[in-house]
Amino acid sequence: MDTEQKDFEQEALVREAEEAALRAEDSRALYEVKLQYLGKTGKVTALMKRMKDLAQELRPAFGKQVNALREKLEGLFDGLEARVREREMAKKLASESVDVTMPGRRRERGALHPVTIVKNRLIDIFAGMGFEIFEGPEIETDYYNFTALNTPADHPARDMQDTFYVSDNLLLRTQTSAGQIRLMERKKPPIKMLSPGRVFRSDDDATHSPMFHQMEGLVVDRGITLCDLQGMLDEFVKAMFSETSKTRLRPSYFPFTEPSVEVDVSCHVCGGKGCPLCKGTGWIEVLGAGVVNRRVLQNCGVDPDVYSGFAFGMGIERIAMLKYGINNIKLLTENDVRFLAQFKD
Ligand code: DAH
């Protein structure tokens, strides 16, 4: 092997490596090419192995030459590698680039349901007067929903509410008044309870729905009278409707209160002059209330000669409809966003 031929062979090898390296499209492919030349079984290594076939005196020069070749190829691959990596990075950055001028995706903001807004407001108002929240079960026994509230099985007042029965003894509660009994069985007076919850009745028209919400109130202590009820109601309507709202009590009947009253509030739209909302009367009925019947106290082991109390119950949907001028209760369960978006807490 003469020197000239060796030089020629080596030059060809460099060119061949260069061409193959330039064809490599990414750093992985380039690495594969590098292995073909500089790897353990690569062409340069094979060349080095040929040294043993040479005469002793030729070996140092040959070794030097192959090492120079190796260095040259290493330099070549290093340079190309840097270029390929740069290209890859530029490609990656381009594919990940963000167009900051593009309009953002809009997120719809939710709002509280009007029934929730009114319920929260009621809780705020009564919590401010020292009431504590008690929540009873939605499936009730006949005893808590009716009998203990002085409404035994054959009592005509049972017809006031069309009941969904689950079994002979179990029903979907028709009124949150059931909570009065549950709480009085558990807690001795003084009591100031507020009990919100769902109630169910077989009833369905523009102002009635088979499921709706009530807010029950109960106060029991020594010397509680109807005057305490009226004073508290005046405070309540001022906070709920308007500073100038007034109340009016009309005699009514509920089995669990004696005397019983319907409570009207002066119309917050016309101020009492008469308008479509109050049907020209200036007054709007908002809740039922009364002095707790002695029998109810007795049923709960509370001595009616020592303690007395008042109770009240209202429909939350009804209050929401009055407050916001909603004329059909169905709007409250349809979940139409165009309707719901109008209510801001
Ligand atoms: N529970 C009655 C109803 O659903 C409302 C009611 C009236 C509750 C008078 C009371 C009350 O606590 O004293 O129609």
Alpha helix locations (H) across the chain?
3-23, 27-38, 43-49, 59-95, 114-127, 142-145, 178-186, 226-240, 294-299, 316-324, 331-334, 337-340
The pTM of this model reads: 0.71
Closest CA to ligand 1's atom 13: 289
Which atom of ligand 1 is closest in space to residue 180's alpha carbon? 12
Q: Is 254 in the pocket of ligand 1 (CB under 6 A)?
A: yes
Tokens of 77: 């691959």
R_g (Cα) of the chain, nearest Å: 44
Q: How far apart are CA 54 and CA 76, in angstroms?
A: 28
For ligand 1, pick from 254, 263, 264, 319 the residue to mutate: most ligand atoms within 8 Å of CB: 254
In words, the CATH class of domain 115-343 is alpha beta
Which atom of ligand 1 is closest in space to residue 199's alpha carbon? 4
B/e letters for 176-187, b = 16+ CB within 10 Å, e = fewer, are bbbbbbbbbeee
Distance 242 CA to ligand 1 centre (A): 24
Q: Is 313 in the pocket of ligand 1 (CB under 6 A)?
A: yes
pLDDT digits (tens, 9 = 90+) for 284-313: 999 999 999 999 999 999 999 999 999 999
Q: Residue 259, class by beta-carbon neighbours within 10 Å (0-12 exposed, 13-18 middle, 19+ buried)?
A: middle
Average pLDDT over residues 267-280: 90
Closest CA to ligand 1's atom 8: 313
Which atom of ligand 1 is closest in space to residue 217's alpha carbon? 12
Average pLDDT over residues 9-33: 89
Which atom of ligand 1 is closest in space to residue 314's alpha carbon? 5
pLDDT digits (tens, 9 = 90+) for 155-211: 877 877 789 999 999 999 999 999 999 999 999 999 999 999 999 999 888 888 999
Question: Do the strands 132-133 and 191-200 form a parallel or antiparallel pair, or are they unpaired?
Answer: parallel
Distance 289 CA to ligand 1 centre (A): 6
Report the alpha-carbon angle 253-289-286, nearest 5.
105
Contact 310, 290 (CB under 8 A): yes
